[in-house]
Amino acid sequence: MKEIILENICKVYGKNEIIKNLNFSIKPGEKIILLGASGCGKSTTLRMVAGLDDISSGNLYMDGQRVNDIVSGKRDISMVFQNYALYPHMTVADNICYGLKIQKLTDLEIKSRLQAVVKMLELYGLEDRKPKDLSGGQRQRVALARAVVKRSGVLLLDEPLSNLDAQLRVHARKELMKIHQAYSQTFIYVTHDQVEAMTLADRVAVLNKGRLEVIDTPQNVYNNPANVFTAKFIGSPGSNIWPAHYQDGYVHIGKQKVKLPEFWNAYIGQKNQREFYLGIRPEHMKIYHEQKNNTFIGIIKYIETYGNQCGVYFMVEGCEGIILCDNFSLKPGQKIYFSLDSKKIHLFSKKNENNIGYPEAYYDNLYKYQSV
Ligand SMILES: Nc1ncnc2c1ncn2[C@@H]1O[C@H](COP(=O)(O)OP(=O)(O)OP(=O)(O)O)[C@@H](O)[C@H]1O
């Protein structure tokens, strides 16, 4: 278990600043997921922590020691790569034990660690095979075993499940939790898969173009997004975001308006802002066939079906929106009336797109050094 602190970490390639002032700390034994779109800098961040890429500026600490200049092999980390990077000419057992032999552990210790990890990751009977004679799922388990057997303080995982099919991923997620329970290592895990992030993380760090948008628990990141980017990025589909303004107890979208409950009036009065982006998740709206109190009117553009639900894409006052519902009889071109669950609305500042429900200090801390 190790505490890791990233302090003003930047990475520059040529003239391109790939990572911009990353500041966050990771508690010993914590599972942090780096989540973001392709190219946002997740792997680069992980590789800097691993010591495989130089840090252009800033400080990286492990258990209080600055490790910028400490070589990868001396950082007490192990890493699982997306393509597994197994040695093709070695057997499974040799792949798993190679690092331990380099560390000059006794044969007895190596054997006992091998047995433990073979049992944990169900690799019985495969010890003498070469990687080419394994299935994708088995190779992935060998790569995990090779990292875990070192029992290092930090386990770095770069999209370790991305080559597996959906069922194997579910199984592998359980194995990762088992590994964490057994060894309590600090995990830094890179993925663009939201299900992986939500199921495995203690906290999710959302990256956007090399910048940290938010670092918080999966529940908060989903239910109380700190900014417009997070609201739109998290969730499948993400939140609806519409320009809106508030006047005399009503929230207006274009020419349409609905009355807000009293608690919103008090809250918005306190914030002294009138123009917002209104955020609402697709599952927090309801469709009606006829106009009711406090409904907006939209026109359906198209419909996606997901088996148990459908996503109804519509236009309201020139803005696109989506509602999740189980009404499969709706048709494109149809007029719908819809309400918003007022308790689930989020309001974001038009100026900086931050959630107005968060104190400003939250954002100051996010973009400066943040201690947890
Ligand atoms: N050695 C390099 N030289 C120049 N640019 C690089 C180098 N390595 C990475 N980059 C750039 O840095 C950016 C971030 O890359 P990185 O691999 O960290 O993204 P990522 O979030 O892990 O993406 P993905 O999910 O697709 O793996 C990309 O624009 C990439 O092209």
* Whether residue 282 has its Cβ less than 6 Å from ligand 1: no
Q: Which atom of ligand 1 is nearest to the CA of 13?
A: 4
* Whether residue 240 has its Cβ less than 6 Å from ligand 1: no
Helix axes 92-102, 136-148, angle to 10 degrees: 20
Q: Which atom of ligand 1 is nearest to the CA of 44?
A: 18
All structural domains of the chain: 4-228 (3.40.50.300), 237-353 (2.40.50.140)
- In three-state secondary structure terms, 141 is helix
Predicted TM-score (pTM) of this structure: 0.89
How many Å apart are CA 120 and CA 128, to the nearest integer?
17
pLDDT in tens, 167-214: 878 888 888 898 898 888 999 999 988 989 999 999 999 999 999 999
* Whether residue 39 has its Cβ less than 6 Å from ligand 1: yes
pLDDT in tens, 41-74: 999 999 999 999 999 999 999 999 999 999 998 9
Looking at residue 130, its amino acid is K
Q: How many percent of the chain have pLDDT more than 90?
A: 68
How far does the centroid of ligand 1 lie from the alpha carbon of residue 203, in Å? 23
Tokens of 104: 């000059």
- Asked whether residue 322 carries a pLDDT value surpassing 80, the answer given is yes
- CA-nearest residue for atom 5, ligand 1, is 13
- CA-nearest residue for atom 8, ligand 1, is 44
* Whether residue 38 has its Cβ less than 6 Å from ligand 1: yes
- Secondary structure (DSSP) of 41-58: SHHHHHHHHHTSS--SEE
